[in-house]
């Protein structure tokens, strides 16, 4: 069973100051997740998590993660600017962009970020833009084909399609990029790949690590490039459904360690650091979208209308993603009603849940939509003139802090030319 980190009493109290809908993040959970990740990879001297800013771009969150030893993974100008203002600098910033404008490379370089090149053509583009290449640089790898793990009768445990993904370089291009970067003055190299998203498997990172470690050994032998780090990127997932198993980050870290001992150490690359760029794993379970039931409708189906909509959390509307829902105060009541829980957009995909067994919902009930802490608020949009909600932080000692105010109509109209 998924348990909210907020009680009904707490939510009612918060609602007096900050009306629903709002996103709320759990500081205690965020710190615990970061500590578990760091412990799982403590065997690796240079280990660092670069939190994927796009998952939850909020200074309060980034500062907590920085206190836990994390860096940031940015992919746009504003993400770099936010990270800079939060105090991240130099190698605390990874810049993993694609189709990158020159001004973003310039800012990344000015901040001393580690630049992760998505394409072979970016080697010369970077050189032409900066007038040099940074001493430390990373290249993104794409092995092509399909990536699968754990075949069973039900299919593959993990399946994704790198051959159809726009990211990264082929093996030959990566080799070429390293040679060229070295000739242009680069000294320390990293290899990065993101092969599957939201994996529920303790084998994803170890399998990915094996591929990248082998590649590192090969590239290092062929080019003499000094491999300083392997970036396993994001993709370690979370169980959105209550019946899914949870990843065990300690087991994952141990699996990567074994691959490291088997491949990197014999290849003379035992000093290399492991980097991660997790977003979802770090934040998704540590955020709730909190909303109030405001309308019920009985037609061909039973509908519960809530004051949040897809503008606050797009994943169900665009991916058909499951997000668990708890009706606060009714945690132990039987789920003997079947509802579609819907938002107010003029868009029929605006449904947080379809045919969901839930306890009887009364108007005014407060609902927690789980696992909204990553790729939740940040994917929000202003369709239908809907305004983005507030973001709140539930601090470790129990108080609540506003970390982003709700938008007002003035915000919505601010960019218009009347």
Q: Which of 44, 56, 96, 292 binds ligand PLP (CB under 6 A)?
A: 96
Say how many residues touch ligand PLP, by CB under 6 A.
Answer: 18
* Min dist. Cβ of residue 165 to ligand PLP (A): 11
Q: Which of 278, 368, 369, 392 binds ligand PLP (CB under 6 A)?
A: 278
* Min dist. Cβ of residue 151 to ligand PLP (A): 23
* Min dist. Cβ of residue 355 to ligand PLP (A): 27
Q: Does 279 bind ligand PLP (CB under 6 A)?
A: yes
* Min dist. Cβ of residue 239 to ligand PLP (A): 14
**Nearer Cβ to ligand PLP (175/196):** 196
Q: Does 202 bind ligand PLP (CB under 6 A)?
A: no
Q: Which of 194, 339, 352, 377 binds ligand PLP (CB under 6 A)?
A: 194
Q: Which of 26, 92, 109, 277 binds ligand PLP (CB under 6 A)?
A: 277
Residue 391 to residue 187: CA distance in whole angstroms = 42
Show contacts with ligand PLP in window 365-394 (CB under 6 A).
374
**Nearer Cβ to ligand PLP (305/373):** 373
Q: Does 209 bind ligand PLP (CB under 6 A)?
A: no
With CB under 6 A as the contact rule, which of the stretches 34-42, 277-285, 307-315, 322-330 interacts with ligand PLP? 277-285
**Nearer Cβ to ligand PLP (33/198):** 198
Using the structure block, give the residue that is written with the tokens 């470690």: 213
Q: Does 197 bind ligand PLP (CB under 6 A)?
A: yes
Residue 271 to residue 216: CA distance in whole angstroms = 13
* Min dist. Cβ of residue 94 to ligand PLP (A): 8
**Three-state secondary structure along the chain?**
CCCCCCCHHHHHHHHHHCCCCEEEEEHHHHHHHHHHHHHHCCCCCCCEEEEEHHHCCCHHHHHHHHHCCCEEEECCHHHHHHHHHCCCCHHHEEEECCCCCHHHHHHHHHCCCEEEECCCHHHHHHHHHHCCCCCEEEEEECCCCCEEEEEECCEEEEEECHHHCCCCECHHHHHHHHHHHHHCCCCEEEEECCCCCCECCCCHHHHHHHHHHHHHHHHHHHHCCEEEEEECCCCECCCCCCCCCCCCHHHHHHHHHHHHHHHHCCCCCCCCEEEECCCHHHHHHHEEEEEEEEEEEECCCEEEEECCCCCCCCHHHHHCCCCCEEECCCCCCCCCEEEEEECCCCCCCCEEEEEEEECCCCCCCEEEECCCCCCCHHHCCCHHHCCCCEEEEECCCCCEEEEECCCCHHHHHCCCCC
Helix axes 204-223, 171-183, angle to 10 degrees: 50
Site pattern 280..319 for ligand PLP (x: CB under 6 A): xx--------------------------------------
With CB under 6 A as the contact rule, which of the stretches 78-86, 122-130, 247-255, 271-279 interacts with ligand PLP? 271-279
Q: Which of 24, 55, 115, 191 binds ligand PLP (CB under 6 A)?
A: 55
Q: How far is CA 188 from CA 42, 185, 224, 267, 275, in A?
A: 22, 10, 11, 16, 14
**Nearer Cβ to ligand PLP (8/250):** 250
**CB-closest chain residue to ligand PLP:** 234
**Nearer Cβ to ligand PLP (74/228):** 74
Q: Does 52 bind ligand PLP (CB under 6 A)?
A: yes
With CB under 6 A as the contact rule, which of the stretches 1-9, 52-60, 342-350, 396-404 interacts with ligand PLP? 52-60
Show contacts with ligand PLP in window 223-252 (CB under 6 A).
233-235
Q: Which positions lie near ligand PLP, rule CB under 6 A?
A: 52, 54-55, 73, 75, 96, 194, 197-198, 233-235, 277-281, 374
């Amino acid at each position: 069973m998924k348990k909210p980190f907020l009680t009904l009493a707490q939510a009612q109290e918060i609602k007096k100051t900050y009306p629903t809908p709002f996103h709320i993040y759990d500081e205690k959970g965020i710190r615990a997740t970061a500590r578990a990740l760091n412990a799982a990879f403590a065997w690796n001297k240079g280990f660092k998590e670069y939190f994927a800013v796009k998952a939850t771009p909020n200074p309060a969150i980034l500062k907590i993660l920085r206190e836990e030893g994390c860096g940031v993974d940015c992919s746009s100008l504003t993400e770099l600017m936010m990270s800079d203002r939060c105090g991240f600098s130099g190698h605390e910033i990874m810049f993993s962009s694609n189709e990158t404008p020159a001004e973003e490379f310039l800012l990344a370089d000015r901040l001393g970020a580690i630049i992760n090149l998505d394409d072979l053509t970016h080697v010369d583009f970077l050189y032409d833009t900066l007038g040099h290449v940074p001493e430390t640089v990373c290249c993104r790898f794409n092995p092509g084909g399909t990536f699968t793990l754990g075949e069973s009768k039900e299919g593959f445990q993990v399946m994704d399609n790198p051959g159809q993904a726009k990211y990264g370089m082929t093996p030959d291009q990566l080799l070429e990029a390293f040679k060229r970067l070295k000739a242009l003055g680069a000294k320390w190299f990293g290899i990065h790949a993101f092969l599957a998203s939201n994996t529920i498997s303790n084998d994803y990172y170890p399998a990915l690590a094996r591929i990248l470690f082998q590649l590192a050994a090969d590239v290092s032998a062929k080019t003499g490039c000094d491999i300083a780090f392997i970036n396993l990127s994001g993709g370690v997932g979370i169980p959105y459904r209550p019946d899914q198993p949870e990843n065990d980050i300690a087991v994952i870290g141990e699996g990567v360690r074994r691959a490291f001992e088997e491949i990197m150490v014999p290849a003379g690359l035992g000093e290399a650091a492991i980097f991660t760029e997790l977003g979802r794993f770090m934040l998704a379970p540590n955020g709730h979208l909190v909303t109030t039931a405001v309308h019920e409708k009985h037609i061909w189906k039973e509908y519960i209308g809530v004051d949040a909509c897809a503008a606050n959390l797009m994943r169900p509307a665009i991916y058909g993603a499951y997000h668990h829902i708890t009706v606060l105060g009714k945690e132990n009541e039987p789920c003997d009603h079947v509802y579609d829980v819907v938002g107010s957009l003029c868009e029929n995909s605006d449904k947080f849940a379809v045919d969901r067994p839930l306890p009887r919902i009364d108007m005014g009930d407060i609902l927690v939509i789980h696992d909204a802490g990553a790729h939740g608020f940040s994917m929000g949009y202003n369709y239908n003139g809907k305004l983005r909600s507030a973001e709140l932080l539930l601090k470790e000692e129990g108080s609540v802090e506003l970390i982003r105010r709700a938008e007002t109509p003035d915000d919505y109209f601010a960019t218009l030319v009347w």
